[in-house]
Amino acid sequence: MTGIDDILLNFSPASLMLLNAILAVVMFSIAIDLTLDDFRRLSRGPKPVLVGLFSQFVVLPVLTFALVWLTAPHPSIALGLILVAACPGGNISNFITHRAGGNAALSVSMTAFATVGAIVMTPANIALWGSLYPPTRAILQETHIDPVQIAITVGLMLILPLILGVTLNMRRPALTARLRRPLQLLSMGIFIAFIILALAANWGYFLSFAGAVAGLVILHNALALGGGWVVATLTRLSPYDRRAVTIETGIQNSGLGLVLIFAFFNGLGGMAVAAAFWGIWHAISGLGLAMIMSRTEARR
């Protein structure tokens, strides 16, 4: 583990901007499948959204803190896991929920509410859980998170493409019907290509620290997915909604996490490696889970 905080990953500002743009395109490709009626139905029954937000901002950080406390990883890796857990759900979760046969409108709603709420909840959860774990407390004392910058990043990545996609679907439904499938395939293809290129560019680092980080990330992601499923089951959500809450809790916006790490933590090695592994693994586990779930139709 010596030297993990001295490494600098090959994630340039330009590549991070490209990642944000790709995620925005993924968000847009999902949004053109939705209308305002989808959200009106949710407003009449807000329970699934509230359950999802509780799972996202309360259950996952608690599970993460327990994992960190029990495994005692390197402080920067621990803080990286805490930061990822504090981020809102990634907009790739909307695509994965759609592919899994879950409630995509609920997934988008949770992502939207969680992303807006992240302006307050993300720095609050990082500060709370990071300060409760002594090895990460010193790192936090040297950093400051700017909620305005988070809000701008979030708006460009999620809110704007969501509004544009829903508006286009309502005003030009024939056009969105033609665009929907090709755009979803194209956006996911670009996203997967970006992840592969990012992995290739940092292959040496990933090999060097795989043993220290990969196992923790896989376990952390499993806890997130399992926690989401348990919360949704205990609150008696329908299988259709349960899939959305499960995936939304297990798919984190690690792209936003990397942006925060490079902007506020100077690209701290352990944090960056953990977030980068998350960005790769949650796509693999999420798509795999979606393939399994899609084999049976979920009751609504």
Q: For residue 146, what pLDDT is reported?
A: 62
Q: How many domains does the chain have?
A: 1
State which residues form the domain around 50: 4-293
The torsion angles phi and psi of 252, rounded to 5 degrees, stand at: -100, 155
pLDDT digits over 9-42, tens only?
666 667 667 767 777 787 787 778 777 776 676 6
pLDDT category at 177 given cuts 50, 70, 90 is: confident
Token readout for 26 is 């993924």
Residue 11 covered by a domain:
yes
pLDDT category at 217 given cuts 50, 70, 90 is: very high
Residue 299 covered by a domain:
no
Angle between helices 173-201 and 269-293 (to 10 degrees): 130
Winning range, highest mean pLDDT, from 106-120, 183-197, 251-265, 285-299? 285-299
Residue 300 covered by a domain:
no
Query: Does position 285 have pLDDT exceeding 90, yes or no?
Result: yes
Residue 193 covered by a domain:
yes
Cα separation, 50 vs 56, in Å, equals 10
Winning range, highest mean pLDDT, from 33-42, 175-184, 238-247? 238-247
Q: What is the mean pLDDT of residues 281-296?
A: 89
Q: What is the mean pLDDT of residues 181-210?
A: 72
Residue 18 covered by a domain:
yes
How much of the chain exceeds pLDDT 70, in percent? Answer: 82
Residue 247 covered by a domain:
yes
Question: For position 26, which CATH number holds?
Answer: 1.20.1530.20
